[in-house]
Amino acid sequence: MVIMDQPQGSLAGAAKAEMRPSPVSAPEPAGETIVRIENLTIRYGDFSAVKNVSLDVYRNQATALIGPSGCGKSTLLRAINRMNDFVPNCQVDGRIVVRGRSIYDPGCDPVDLRRHIGMVFQKPNPFPKSIYRNVSWGAKINGYRGDMDALVEQCLRRAGLWEEVKDKLKQVALNLSGGQQQRLCIARALALQPDVLLMDEPCSALDPIATARIEDLIDQLKTDYTVVLVTHNMQQAARVSDRTAFLYMGELIEVEDTHVLFTHPRHPRTQAYITGRFG
Amino acid sequence: MTSAAPSISMLYQPRLARRKACNVVFYVTGAAVCAMTVALLATLIGVVLKDGWTFLTVRFVTSFPSRIEPELAGVKPALFGSLCVVLMTGVISVPLGVGAAVYLSEYAGDSRLNRFIQLNIANLAGVPSIVYGLLGLAVFVRWLHLGSSILAGSLTMSLLVLPVIIISAREAIAAVPQSLRQAAYALGATRWQTVRAHVLPSALPGILTGVILSLSRAVGEAAPLLIVGAAAFMLSMPGSQAGGGAWNKLVAIGTDNFAVLPIQIFNWCKEPDVVFQQLAAAGIVVLLAALLAMNSVAVGIRLWHQRKRTW
Ligand SMILES: Nc1ncnc2c1ncn2[C@@H]1O[C@H](COP(=O)(O)OP(=O)(O)OP(=O)(O)O)[C@@H](O)[C@H]1O
Ligand SMILES: [Mg+2]
């Protein structure tokens, strides 16, 4: 397969036109709430990991969740695509509304929900299959009818991995480096064209160069997707996110536009955390 | 560093020589045990080869057993019966066992009932095989009127191997990393899609090991089939009287009486004449060869699966 580098070339362009929703529903105004979290409390047995959190996530923005270890960031993130369903004795109270649907209502199917809300995990977890199949599998099981080759290429380009893997799409993904694997996991999530992309410390296992690449990527993804990002790295939150929420002991202390939160934190605890005095 | 360094290092007493000596002791013990096992096996094979050598010809696996002319006796019906029983046992027990293991580990939650069931399955694995024979006799032979047939024998053997298959498949499935399942679920996969595409392929080598070990046991078992009523020796092939199409033939084979290798070997061993001892030795060689062939098939499947997985 010899395809020259053509960032906005015909093939990529065609695939892209096919991928995005029709123009009728497409350009909704930025700033619209896409995920609304209302009075959310999450318990593991008797222990409340998330306490009465209310938070809005806006379309085409990156929202960062920061806070000290164990404050409930991952728990909150997993609530948004109901991955907590797999945790025994995890109980969720309150509401999360995604595009007008309350996702914990009995009528909401978590399988369908997860198809619209992608997730990238802390540790890269590619399937032990070929690079191609890693990207195509999600689309395949969800009945994708379009051109699969074009979709795979499009997603790998989007994730900034295409140039590195275009000659070895049939090789097993486990041979890739950690940073490449993580970008493959991002490409895999993009193949479903999710509305929201949840990322739980996607760079924690990566070196600074791979981290920079993923941060660039998140920045680009905002034009088409909405990103919710958990990070321990304050600089990263400052660099890539539009809004930042600070959690402490399961409570939402403060949520603000990123540049405001980092320059004029309202709460003394936020101030202490972002200046590195605890955490 | 400074003067503190030597005093801190005083706290460590590496006793390197002693630890290395321990290591050597274990190395030697392990090697000795290994060598003993190999020597034992080699002796066994050597003895049966020596005893059975005169009978190890193609004629031996293509003739019927004979009391009157032991020089012309063979294991054809017993070998055929053993192969039929192991094949049918596999067909019955593998889907049931793997299915049960998938249900227990992927679908049923970690409930008290689930743990109780698993405890009982583990217990069943330790029940003497003769008990399964009695159960098979009561249920399959008498109650379901299957008679002393290959089908009844295979069903009995399936009961015998099911617990081991379930336990080993469950272990293999439990060893599949959770992150793999999460990756699939996060893409909007159903449980079955996740199991089918990721969990089972990753667990396949472990499942195969359990299947092969338990089917090998089924090939070597005599007791339950004796109870079920397998023939001491057969003078015709199972189902040979049946006419008509392939299906009729298959049904006839499944419902006819049968002989198996271990029982045939056992019966020859009971005879006082030395020629029967030689026949038994030759039968053992055939049984070992059949086991080896089964294991090779498992290795083959594993290799094929690995190669397939890279693209
Ligand atoms: N499966 C579980 N069962 C019981 N308690 C849990 C479980 N998972 C998390 N917790 C607890 O819930 C709290 C929040 O955990 P969570 O993983 O959400 O923290 P986090 O903010 O993501 O931390 P980190 O930054 O270290 O990843 C912790 O106190 C943790 O011990
Ligand atoms: Mg976490």
Query: For the residues A162-178, what does the mean pLDDT come to?
Result: 90
Task: Decide if A81 contacts A114 (C-beta within 8 A).
Answer: yes
Residue B44 lies in a domain: yes
Q: Of A88, A119, A172, which is closest to B310 when you measure between CB atoms?
A: A172
Residue B154 lies in a domain: yes
Name the one residue in this structure whose structure tokens are 């092939």: B237
Residue B158 lies in a domain: yes
- The pLDDT tens digits for B134-153 are 999 999 999 998 888 899 99
Task: Decide if B200 contacts B191 (C-beta within 8 A).
Answer: no
Name the one residue in this structure whose structure tokens are 């379309």: A59
Please report the beta strands in chain B, taking only residues with DSSP state E, as ranges in sequence order: none
Percent of chain A with pLDDT over 70: 88
User: Domain check: are B116 and B102 in the same one?
Assistant: yes
User: Domain check: are B43 and B115 in the same one?
Assistant: no
User: Domain check: are B201 and B243 in the same one?
Assistant: yes
Q: How far is CA B286 from the centre of its chain?
A: 16
What are the two backbone dihedrals, phi and then psi, of residue A112, each rounded to the nearest 5 degrees? -70, -35
- The pLDDT tens digits for B251-307 are 888 888 888 999 999 999 988 888 899 999 999 999 999 999 988 988 888 888 777
How many CA within 13 A on the CB side of residue A40? 31
**Would you give the end-to-end CA distance of chain B in angstroms?**
55
User: Domain check: are B146 and B83 in the same one?
Assistant: yes
pLDDT band of residue A3 (cuts 50, 70, 90) is: very low
Task: Decide if B185 contacts B157 (C-beta within 8 A).
Answer: no
Identify the structural domains of chain A with CATH numbers, from first to last.
21-274 (3.40.50.300)
pLDDT band of residue B3 (cuts 50, 70, 90) is: low
User: Domain check: are B103 and B248 in the same one?
Assistant: yes
A174, closest residue in chain B (CA to CA): B310
Return the bridge partners of B134, or none.
Answer: none
Residue B1 lies in a domain: no
Residue B81 lies in a domain: yes
Per-residue confidence (pLDDT) for residue B1, from 0 to 100: 47
Alpha helices in A117-257 (DSSP H): 131-141, 148-158, 162-165, 178-190, 208-221, 234-240
**CB pair distance less than 8 Å for B179 and A123:** yes
User: How far off is chain A from B304, nearest CA to CA, in Å?
Assistant: 15
Mutation choice for A interface testing from B107, B187, B195, B200 by most A CBs within 10 A:
B187
- Kindly provide the b/e burial profile for residues A9-19, where b requires at least 16 CB atoms within 10 angstroms of the residue's own CB: eeebeebeeeb
DSSP B235: S
Per-residue confidence (pLDDT) for residue A11, from 0 to 100: 39
Average pLDDT over chain B reads 88
Residue B8 lies in a domain: no
- The pLDDT tens digits for A185-225 are 999 999 999 999 999 988 887 788 888 888 998 998 888 89
User: Domain check: are B222 and B75 in the same one?
Assistant: yes
Query: For the residues A164-191, what does the mean pLDDT come to?
Result: 91
Domain interval for residue B26: 15-53
User: Domain check: are B268 and B193 in the same one?
Assistant: yes
Per-residue confidence (pLDDT) for residue A213, from 0 to 100: 85
DSSP letters for B138-183? IIIIIIS---S-HHHHHHHHHHHHHHHHHHHHHHHHHTS-HHHHHH
**CB pair distance less than 8 Å for B183 and A130:** no
Task: Decide if A200 contacts A123 (C-beta within 8 A).
Answer: no
Q: Which two tokens stand for residue B15?
A: 């006793």
User: Domain check: are B158 and B29 in the same one?
Assistant: no
Per-residue confidence (pLDDT) for residue A28, from 0 to 100: 45
pLDDT band of residue A41 (cuts 50, 70, 90) is: very high
pTM of the model: 0.83
CA distance A29 to A257: 18
Query: End of a domain among B53, B75, B99?
Result: B53
* 3 state DSSP class of B262: helix
- The pLDDT tens digits for B160-217 are 999 999 999 999 999 999 999 999 999 999 999 999 999 999 999 899 989 998 999 8
pLDDT band of residue A99 (cuts 50, 70, 90) is: confident
B208 burial via Cβ count (<10 Å: 0-12, 13-18, 19+): buried
- The pLDDT tens digits for B104-128 are 999 987 788 989 999 999 999 999 9
DSSP A28: P
User: Domain check: are B231 and B164 in the same one?
Assistant: yes
CA distance A264 to A127: 43
User: Quick one: which H or E segment has residue A199?
Assistant: strand A196-200
- The pLDDT tens digits for A109-125 are 999 999 999 999 988 99
Instruction: Give me the number of domains chain B comprises.
Output: 2
For residue B178, give Cα distances in angstroms to A41, A144, B181, B199, B310. 25, 26, 5, 10, 21
How many CA within 13 A on the CB side of residue A251? 6
- Using DSSP bridges, classify how beta strands A90-98 and A33-44 pair: parallel, antiparallel or unpaired: antiparallel
User: Domain check: are B46 and B163 in the same one?
Assistant: no
Question: What's the CA-to-centroid distance between A112 and ligand 1, angstroms?
Answer: 26
Average pLDDT over chain A reads 85
- The pLDDT tens digits for A50-76 are 999 999 999 999 999 999 999 999 999
Question: What's the CA-to-centroid distance between B107 and ligand 1, angstroms?
Answer: 25
Q: B309 pLDDT exceeds 80?
A: no
Q: Which of A263-272, B64-73, B130-139 has the lowest mean pLDDT?
A: B64-73
Per-residue confidence (pLDDT) for residue A27, from 0 to 100: 43
Q: What is the CATH number of the domain that holds B181?
A: 1.10.3720.10
User: Domain check: are B151 and B226 in the same one?
Assistant: yes
DSSP letters for A16-63? HHHHSPPTTTS-PPTT-EEEEEEEEEEEETTEEEEEEEEEEEETT-EE
User: Domain check: are B22 and B157 in the same one?
Assistant: no
The best mutation among A44, A85, A121 to test binding of ligand 1, ranked by most ligand atoms within 8 Å of the C-beta, falls on: A44
Q: How many CB atoms lie within 10 A of CB B275?
A: 14
CA distance A23 to A12: 18
Q: A16 pLDDT exceeds 90?
A: no
Per-residue confidence (pLDDT) for residue A30, from 0 to 100: 54
Atom of ligand 1 nearest to the CA of A232: 25
Cα torsion angle, B7, B11, B13, B14, sign: negative
Per-residue confidence (pLDDT) for residue A20, from 0 to 100: 42
Per-residue confidence (pLDDT) for residue A22, from 0 to 100: 41
